Chain A
Amino acid sequence: MLILNCPYCGVDADETELAAGGEAHLKRHGPGSSDDEFHGYLFARKNPRGVHFERWRHAHGCGKWFHAARDTVTLEVFGTYPAQTEGPPKPILAAIEARRPGWTLD
């Protein structure tokens, strides 16, 4: 059972209270972008074995979207953070680095 702490209401919500929203930090390519960029934005997703940044919604709670950093193999959660950001914040990166020495953000 995956348990994520919602950064908006502070609840330790179990996965049945949440809705998954796929990969986080996608850059939107809209009008004026090339076909390849738009195709990538629409369809290309990372599917890593290991550290992954995801969007989640506290659907049965406060209703807010937030981000989570977790490991797709061990299900270890490195942390959650608010969605008003373009990339993972420093404390989250530090938490991952501490648990996965040598890991780098790509």
Chain B
Amino acid sequence: MLEPVSALNGASFDGLARIEETGLQGMITLRGDLSAKAVKSAATAASGVRRVPDQRQANVSGEKGLCWMSPDELLVLCPYGAVAEALEKMQAALAGSHALAVNVSDARAVVRLSGPAAREVLAKLCPVDLAPAAFTPGMFRRTRMAQAPVAFWMDDDESFRIVCFRSVAQYVFDVLKVAAQPGSEVGFHARPEPV
């Protein structure tokens, strides 16, 4: 039996902020009418969180959670080893409804970016307002990081979890490393908010 390996095998880097690949994360793409009862219950049953997130929100705790990807798509997070079981539960809940649930765990990579300068590092790479007042824990954003599509949310005020395609995991890690080079501080988010 071959052992599953995450995209970067847990690589990490310490600079302005800490960058580390989180390792294997179970991920299921769920598409369908998000207001439908069957879709909602499939999502909550598989992820173990009670609430389906609203537009541009994430509801994640640890390895489990739900993220709002688009008006008809959720990202379901669960432990890597529990995907098969979760998927089975979802298929049962979705029987007869027009919806799709697919295991995408091995097609993606997850990188954690943490530290007091995390906002600043990410703001160099993404066209997103990352001011503490504008982007807060619980929000979810799909965007681009330099040239690669990514999605991220904040676990707390100083750490992001970034999801990208496995094929660009090395690129995302490297570009974050460049943005977190010691001595490359911009200090934008460290300044007091203009009154």
The interface of chain A, by Cβ under 8 A from chain B, is 8-11, 13-14, 16-17, 60-64
Contacts of B71 in A (CB 8 A): 8-9, 62, 64
B interface bracket (residues with beta carbon within 8 Å of A): 10 to 19
Which of B70, B141, B143 sits near A8, CB closer than 8 Å? B70
Query: Would you list 23 pairs from A and B whose C-beta atoms are within 8 A, ordered by A residue?
Result: A8-B70, A8-B71, A9-B55, A9-B56, A9-B70, A9-B71, A9-B142, A10-B56, A13-B127, A14-B127, A16-B144, A17-B127, A17-B143, A17-B144, A60-B143, A60-B149, A61-B142, A62-B69, A62-B73, A62-B142, A63-B70, A64-B70, A64-B71
The interface of chain B, by Cβ under 8 A from chain A, is 55-56, 69-71, 73, 127, 141-144, 149
Determine the distance from Cα of A61 to Cα of B142 in the docked complex, in whole angstroms.
Answer: 5
Contacts of B143 in A (CB 8 A): 17, 60-61
Query: Do B142 and A60 touch across chains, with their CB atoms under 8 A apart?
Result: yes
Report the minimal beta-carbon distance from A81 to chain B, rounded to whole angstroms: 15
Determine the distance from Cα of A14 to Cα of B126 in the docked complex, in whole angstroms.
Answer: 10
Determine the distance from Cα of A72 to Cα of B56 in the docked complex, in whole angstroms.
Answer: 30
Contacts of A64 in B (CB 8 A): 70-71
Report the minimal beta-carbon distance from A67 to chain B, rounded to whole angstroms: 16
Residue of B at shortest CB range from A3?
B127
Determine the distance from Cα of A62 to Cα of B73 in the docked complex, in whole angstroms.
Answer: 9
Query: Do A60 and B144 touch across chains, with their CB atoms under 8 A apart?
Result: yes
Interface centre among B55, B56, B127, by most chain A C-beta atoms within 10 angstroms, is B127
Determine the distance from Cα of A60 to Cα of B142 in the docked complex, in whole angstroms.
Answer: 7
Determine the distance from Cα of A11 to Cα of B127 in the docked complex, in whole angstroms.
Answer: 11
Which of B69, B141, B144, B149 sits near A11, CB closer than 8 Å? B141
Determine the distance from Cα of A62 to Cα of B141 in the docked complex, in whole angstroms.
Answer: 9
Report the minimal beta-carbon distance from A84 to chain B, rounded to whole angstroms: 12
Residue of A at shortest CB range from B150?
A60
Determine the distance from Cα of A28 to Cα of B136 in the docked complex, in whole angstroms.
Answer: 44
Interface centre among B141, B142, B149, by most chain A C-beta atoms within 10 angstroms, is B142
Determine the distance from Cα of A8 to Cα of B69 in the docked complex, in whole angstroms.
Answer: 11
Report the minimal beta-carbon distance from A1 to chain B, rounded to whole angstroms: 9
Determine the distance from Cα of A11 to Cα of B56 in the docked complex, in whole angstroms.
Answer: 8
Residue of B at shortest CB range from A12?
B129
Report the minimal beta-carbon distance from B29 to chain A, rounded to whole angstroms: 12
Query: Do B55 and A10 touch across chains, with their CB atoms under 8 A apart?
Result: yes
Contacts of A11 in B (CB 8 A): 56, 141
Determine the distance from Cα of A62 to Cα of B72 in the docked complex, in whole angstroms.
Answer: 9
Determine the distance from Cα of A62 to Cα of B144 in the docked complex, in whole angstroms.
Answer: 11
